[in-house]
Amino acid sequence: MTATPIFSPAKINLFLAITGRRVDGYHDLVSVVAPLGFGDTLQVEPSPEGRFTMECDDPAVPTDESNLVLRAATAFAAATGGRGGAHFRLEKRIPVGAGLGGGSSNAVAALRALNDRAGRPLAAGRLAALAASLGSDCPLFLHDGPVVMRGRGERVEALPAPAAARLRGRRILLFKPGFGISTPWAYGRMVAAAPRHYLAATEAEARLAAWLDGDAPAEDLLFNGMEAVVDAKYLALPMLRDVLREEFDLASRMSGSGSAGFALLRADTPTGAVTARIREVWGAAAFVTEAKIS
């Protein structure tokens, strides 16, 4: 069989409310998440050695068993009793440590590819359960459009069509400074500050319902309850959002636990000038790219 290329999209959290800590140590959340037309590409080809192996064009990405792609492949083989292996070639474009879901997206791309090549032995429900066992962000990547995530992220449902239509096709600017942020560290800061930065589930659901039931644009949905704890240490993040708001009138938020952020673009936004300004604030090493919500 020839190599199979699978697109592995980045995601952004347009709305992210952390509602409390669970007894299992995870956090409950309510979040609107959207995949982007920007992401990685995962090539999957047969392995003559009958093992799961991988390579990546980014030397900073581990290619041993700690990588979620190989963990996903091992979990798939265990769930299906599959024999044989595969070799994965990852073309990495999503920055690491950005809050853009790159590793989770790569894992689900691997699951989808292996399931397709094996004749789809896992139905949607079993595939979703397997994805959830790999990471809280993984199940959302089984959907091809904006979703609402609840629980620790394993409860995922597609956004209603009228609401999704207000998001699909919106142009955004993605940006990340020269440093990443550890997700466990960010959630640890939430615990230390609790309950100050948690948003009650009833309030989170009320805010979300108000947006879903109306016709307000995406700008009115934006919220990230993790910004306060992350911003307190990484002052460059709120500084840039202030610049984008004050100089360009752009709505901007951090995605997930950071360090990447995004701004919603208008038809008249001078994207080149915004990009140049981001690099003035964060330095020439800052990652900046335009993308669209899928």
Catalytic residues: 11, 137
Q: How far apart are CA 161 and CA 258, in angstroms?
A: 28
- Its sign, for the CA torsion 45, 51, 52, 56, is negative
Q: How far apart are CA 156 and CA 171, in angstroms?
A: 24
CA 263 centroid distance within chain: 15
DSSP 8-state secondary structure symbol assigned to residue 47: -
Instruction: Name the residue type at position 144.
Output: D
Dihedral (Cα; 238, 207, 108, 69), 10-degree rounding: 30
Q: Which burial class, exposed, middle or buried, applies to 240 when counting CB atoms under 10 A from its CB (0-12, 13-18, 19+)? A: buried
Q: How far apart are CA 231 and CA 208, in angstroms?
A: 24
Q: How far apart are CA 64 and CA 150, in angstroms?
A: 31
- 120, 162 in Cβ contact below 8 A? no
How many helices (H) and strands (E) are present in the chain, helices listed first?
9, 11
| Structure tokens belonging to residue 195 | 């309950």
For residue 7, the cross-strand partners are: 41
DSSP 8-state secondary structure symbol assigned to residue 160: P
Q: How far apart are CA 276 and CA 220, in angstroms?
A: 26
| Structure tokens belonging to residue 118 | 């094996």
- Closest by CA position to 174, among listed 10, 47, 25, 23: 10
